[in-house]
Amino acid sequence: MSLRITPLTDPAHGPRGRRLAWLASDADSIPVGTAFLRLFDGGQEHLAELDLRVHPAERRKGVGSRLLDSAVATARDNARRCVVAQAEAGSPGDHFLAARGFRKVLTLRFTRLPLAEVDTAGLAEIIERPHPGYRLMSWRGTAPDDLAETFAASRRAMDDMPMDDTDYGTVTWDVDRMRAAAKAVEQRGDHLHTVVAVDASDGSIAGFTELVVPGNGEGDGQHYGTGVLPEHRGHGLGRWMKAESIRQAHRDYPDLGGLLTDTADSNTHMRQINDGLGYAPTHTAHEHQLDL
């Protein structure tokens, strides 16, 4: 088929880098596929993330390969070491990436908690159980000024999260980046909710969990991350914070359907927390990586 690949200007320049885009169209200028390539910074300057989609009716005609060639060439031009892409296990995209030289480096399990089925009594029991030396705090949007520095510092809790064979790097966080990420959620009309565990001895944040809720309060919310600093692990803080996050969502958003989360298959600790809180599996995805 006659195919044209057009580079596009994408305004999605966020706190973690910039994004490039390409549109594939046929001889009649009808769009048949797209590719987006995010170029990371802040500790991940070696990495690019690909999101490639082809209309089902136009697959197996070379559209995906042409888009992939454009994206990979740009990643190389920007001195990237690898390109990662995600696809649902067993899907056409999963097979496409494997056939194009990507290797599977991580398995992700996606789960959902239906809020109508939440065990509120069980949540209350978890939340009210004493955690000596710690207290819970929460906010909506950007972290309060008096907690901004310690919240940014607490982000290193995610540095050792299981990523299996992914060449992920280490994300570098500071107050400006943390505020920019919260601002990005606000600008698209969604609500960012954060629950933290505070070390009562010095007021520093020992761990956090984040949840993003659609602006209209309907559909499903998405967990963005839960982490506890290594020196504070072993006290049940992750389960405590996540239970409080669920309680708040259930209380504040009566029309919200559920909460979504994804966890590395090898992250047995977080999977056990989610299972115990009532999250049920929905599907599995594979993270693929192409080394350049």
Cα 19 versus chain centre, distance = 16
Q: Which domains, and CATH codes, for the chain?
A: 4-80 (3.40.630.30), 110-284 (3.40.630.30)
- Asked whether the whole model's pTM tops 0.85, one would answer yes
Q: Give rounded-to-5 percent helix, strand, coil for the chain.
A: 30, 35, 30
Residue 44 φ/ψ, nearest 5 degrees: -130, 35
Q: What is the pLDDT of residue 231?
A: 98
CA torsion sign, 85 to 89 to 90 to 92?
negative
Helix H or strand E segment including 225: strand 219-228
Q: What is the pLDDT of residue 26?
A: 93
* Both tokens assigned to 172: 């570098």
Q: What is the pLDDT of residue 207?
A: 98
Instruction: Yes or no: say if 273 and 111 are a contact pair by the CB < 8 Å rule.
Output: no
Q: What is the pLDDT of residue 43?
A: 81
pLDDT tens-digit profile, the chain (292 residues):
689 999 987 666 665 678 999 999 999 999 999 999 999 887 899 999 999 999 999 999 999 999 999 999 999 999 999 999 999 999 999 999 999 999 999 999 999 999 999 999 999 999 999 999 999 999 999 999 999 999 999 999 999 998 889 988 888 899 999 999 999 999 999 999 999 999 999 999 999 999 999 999 999 999 999 999 999 999 999 999 999 999 999 999 999 999 999 999 999 999 999 999 999 999 999 999 999 9
